Amino acid sequence: MSSSRKLKAAWPVLGAWLLIAATAAGYAAAACILAWYLGAPWWVGLVPVVLMLALAEVLGWMGSDHPVRADLSDAGEAEEPRLHAVVDRLSALSGQDKPILRIMETQAPNSLVFTAPGERPTLCVSRGLLELLDNSRLESVLAHEFAHLAHRDAQVMAFADAVVGWPVRLPAAFVGAVERIDPVLCAAARKCGRAWKPAFQRTSADGPGLAPPMRRIPLPLAAPLLVLLGVVRALLITLACVAFLGVAIPAGVACLPGFAMLYRLNRRRELAADRGAAELTGAPAGLAAALAEIEGGMLAVPEEDLRELSNGSPLAILPFQRPGTADGPLQRLFDWTYRTHPRTTARVARLEGLSRDMATRPPD
């Protein structure tokens, strides 16, 4: 690829990064001004920024759910020879290690990749996608996921989220930590004979993981331990409520411009993965046709099922939702600003243009 074509391909992502950097600099400046106004040294405003960047991956893991809520099954080579054959070919073409393969047991046609802390990347393919696409189009879709892996998009987006979203992510991570600590305190209280219920638990009081209240600690020790547990628990729950209501919600409103830039970057990286898949397979038209088929296949999936899968939309090749058009001008503006993916029609048009460009491109 010539230098001019490389610059043309890289500029949309680079431009999105520049907007994110400008937005993050604005947030950091506002934090420094606030620290100075409150009588603290101005550089104190940089502390949460540095902390969030240093702990981006850990805090992102604490504050997020598993990206896939569908039933996952192992994609053994004996059970899914076709899938393994396509993935083996892409691994050889790209020079990348073969990811862990999982099947999402849903008829919603889709695919995504994610990397859990300390594990190899996992490639998830839905049962509906395997039934919908032939081998060539399946290869184009999975090449898109390999492009995400090559670009390290999961790590890149986690870093970008930390850059623009730290005013929200820090209090959200604290609330998440309290959610994990509170059941431990309640379990200790149950050993003292008190039926404390976790404040953030959605199941019943005697749900999974909760032992029935039974004093196993001698009374002379149980009484002061209950007082200590009560004080610690009250303090943590109070701080969690303050962090959520007093910090996270106002910060979420303040961070709307930053999140708009974040979603812009996500859309640009989807286009970059489309281009990477086209370069890897040499078949942009195949990916364009596959995207149109996947979007059409979403229409046959019940809306309730798509809502259950929506948690994985930011990572998927297409969102788990029915294709539609926003109604009013404000809704169209919000839809354009906070979309996780470019419109499929725009992606198809770009791929068709890339196909024509590749057909007339002189050898490098």
Assign 335 a pLDDT band (cuts: 50, 70, 90). Answer: low
Indicate whether 355 belongs to any domain: yes
Indicate whether 265 belongs to any domain: no
Number of domains in the chain: 3
Distance CA 177, CA 179 (A): 5
Q: What is the CATH number of the domain that holds 322?
A: 3.30.2010.10
Which three-class secondary structure state does DSSP give residue 115? coil
Assign 139 a pLDDT band (cuts: 50, 70, 90). Answer: very high
Asked whether the predicted pLDDT for residue 300 surpasses 90, the reply is no
Asked whether the predicted pLDDT for residue 24 surpasses 80, the reply is no
Total-model pTM = 0.76
What's at 151, amino acid-wise? H
Indicate whether 97 belongs to any domain: yes
Determine contact, residues 239/179, Cβ cutoff 8 Å.
no
Indicate whether 259 belongs to any domain: no
On whether both 274 and 343 belong to a single domain, the answer is: yes
On whether both 78 and 152 belong to a single domain, the answer is: yes
On whether both 280 and 356 belong to a single domain, the answer is: yes
What local confidence, expressed as pLDDT, does residue 117 receive?
A: 66
Range with top average pLDDT, 2-11, 257-266, 332-341: 257-266
On whether both 249 and 284 belong to a single domain, the answer is: no
Domain that holds residue 18: 3-65
On whether both 152 and 278 belong to a single domain, the answer is: yes
Nearest to 70 by CA among 128, 22, 130, 15: 128
What local confidence, expressed as pLDDT, does residue 236 receive?
A: 92
Which three-class secondary structure state does DSSP give residue 16? helix
Indicate whether 260 belongs to any domain: no
pLDDT, average across residues 245-263: 82
On whether both 61 and 111 belong to a single domain, the answer is: no
On whether both 184 and 147 belong to a single domain, the answer is: no
Indicate whether 278 belongs to any domain: yes
On whether both 29 and 84 belong to a single domain, the answer is: no
Burial class (CB in 10 A: 0-12, 13-18, 19+), 219: exposed
Q: pLDDT tens-digit profile of 106-138?
A: 999 999 998 876 778 999 999 999 999 999 999
Q: pLDDT tens-digit profile of 199-216?
A: 876 544 444 455 567 777
Determine contact, residues 258/20, Cβ cutoff 8 Å.
yes
CB under 8 Å, gap of 24 or more: what pairs does 284-289 form? 284/351, 284/352, 284/354, 284/355, 284/358, 285/351, 285/352, 285/355, 286/136, 286/137, 286/139, 286/140, 287/137, 287/140, 287/141, 287/143, 287/144, 287/351, 288/347, 288/348, 288/351, 288/352, 288/355, 289/137
